[in-house]
Amino acid sequence: MKIIKPKKLEKGDVVGLISPASTPDDLSKVEKAVKYFENLGYGVKIGHNVGRKYGYLAGTDEERVQDIHDMFKDKSVKAVISIRGGFGSPRLLDKIDYGLIRRNPKIFVGYSDLTALNIAIFKKTGLITFEGPMAATDFGDNIDPYTEEWFWKIVSNKKKIGKILNPDEEKFYKLSKGRGEGRIIGGNLSILTSLAGTPYFPDFKNAILLLEEINEEPYRVDRMLNHLKLLNVYKKVNGIILGRFVNCFQKAGERDERTLNMVILDYFENMGIPLIYNVSHGHVKKNFTLPIGVMAKVNASRTFVEITESAVE
C-alpha cells in the first residue's frame, strides 16, 4: 500500500469542522472552536449538517457522509477536524467514497468513536490520519497547552516528530523488554474490536498496536483484549503502545484500581513484545496526537517511544 501524507497546515489555510458521530451537547463550544482557529490565523468552514440530531447521532448517515465528502471535495479546505466523538462513525464506513479521499488527501483528525474513520481511511487509501483533539471537545473547551503544543507541531511541521514525551515529566511503564519498529495502527479499543471481521479491520503485520479506552469495566476490557488475542493480533505486531484507560474500574462495589492492572498484566506482562504503558493519549485533557500510519519505534528496554518520521509533507 502506498502511504500518503497530507500537506502540512499553514496560517491562512481553511479548517473544516464536521460531526461524523454525535452532536455536542453545547453548540456554543463549536463557536468557541471557530474563534480559536480564526484567532490563530486560519479560516473555518462548518459542515452543512453540523448541529443536526438524529437520536444520538449528528444527523442521518447520509447527512454525515455528505459533510465528509463535501470537505474532501472542497479544494480550499486543508484539514478536516471532527467536532466530537460519541456514537455512529462505524455506520458510515460502507458509505464513504474512499477514491474521493485518495484523490484529495488532507489532514483528518478525531479520536474515540472517530477511530473507525481513521482506521478505515488509512486502510482504504493509505492516507495518514490523526488520533487527536476535536473541535468542541478540546479546541472549544480551554484546550490544554500540552495537547495544543503537540497537535500543532505534528500537523504543521515536516520534521521528524521524534520522541513522545508525557506532560510534567510523567514516566512511562514497560511490561516487557525489547524493541520494535512499525507503523502505528489502532486507537480506541472498543471501536477497533467492533471492526473485526469487516473489510475495515486493519492489517497488523509488523505494526505498532495503539490502544486506549474510557468507561469500560475491567471485565469488558478483558473481553476485548482477548478478542484481539484470538485474532492473533499480538503475534503479528512489533510493539504495543497503551494510552490511558480512563474510568475503567469496577463499577459495582468498591473501586479497585488493581483490577484493570491485573487484566493488563494478564495479557501483556513478559509476552515478548516491547510494550510501553501510560502514554498520555486518549480521553484525557493532556492528549498527545498520534498519527495513524506513521513509522515509530517502541523501545521497552530503554522505556521510550519515538515517531521516526513526519506525519505531513
| 4-59 residue pLDDT tens | 999 999 999 999 999 999 999 999 999 999 999 999 999 999 999 999 999 999 99
pLDDT at 256: 58
Where is pLDDT greater, at 68 or 252?
A: 68
Residue 112 annotated as catalytic: yes
Q: Residue 259 in 3-state DSSP?
A: helix
Provide mean pLDDT across the span 152-178. Answer: 96
| Contacts of the segment 247-252: beta carbons below 8 A, 24+ positions apart | 247/214, 247/215, 248/213, 248/214, 248/215, 248/216, 248/217, 248/218, 248/221, 249/217, 249/218, 250/217, 250/218, 251/217
Residues 287, 274: contact at Cβ < 8 Å?
A: no
Single-letter residue type at 32: K
Say yes or no to pLDDT of 255 above 60.
no
Residues in CB range of 252: below 8 A, 6 or more apart: none
Q: What is the strand order of the sheet 304-307 is part of?
A: 162-163, 304-307, 295-299, 179-188, 208-214, 239-246, 275-277, 173-176
Q: What DSSP state is assigned to residue 200?
A: T
Active-site hit among 82, 216, 281, 283 = 283
Task: Please give the share of the chain, as a percent, with pLDDT higher than 90.
Answer: 94
Q: Which domains does the chain have, with CATH numbers?
A: 14-143 (3.40.50.10740), 162-307 (3.50.30.60)
Question: Apex CA 196: angle with CA 24 and CA 280, to 5°?
Answer: 50
Residues 180, 31: contact at Cβ < 8 Å?
A: no
* b/e per residue 35-51 (b: at least 16 CB within 10 A): ebbeeeebbbbbbebbe
Q: Is 207 left (phi over 0), alpha (psi -120 to 50) or beta?
A: beta
Residue 283 annotated as catalytic: yes
Provide mean pLDDT across the span 259-273. Answer: 92
Cell numbers linked to 296: 515509530
pLDDT at 251: 74
Stretch among 18-22, 134-138, 202-206, 258-262 having the lowest mean pLDDT: 258-262
Residue 310 annotated as catalytic: no
Rounded CA separation 28/136 (Å): 8
Active-site hit among 22, 112, 280, 310 = 112
pLDDT at 259: 87
Cell numbers linked to 72: 474532501
Residues 13, 6: contact at Cβ < 8 Å?
A: no
Crossing angle for the helix pair 257-268 and 218-230, to the nearest 10 degrees: 10
- pLDDT-based confidence at residue 270 (cuts at 50, 70, 90): confident
Residues in CB range of 313: below 8 A, 6 or more apart: 5, 6, 7, 8, 158
Provide mean pLDDT across the span 236-254. Answer: 89
Active-site hit among 82, 89, 131, 212 = 212
Q: Which of 84, 119, 302 is nearest to 193 (CA)?
A: 119
* Beta bridge partner(s), residue 128: none
Say yes or no to pLDDT of 254 above 80.
no
**Per-residue pLDDT tens for 122-131?**
999 999 999 9
Mean pLDDT of the chain: 96
Where is pLDDT greater, at 275 or 257?
A: 275
Chain centroid to CA 268:
22
pTM: 0.97
Residues 307, 162: contact at Cβ < 8 Å?
A: yes
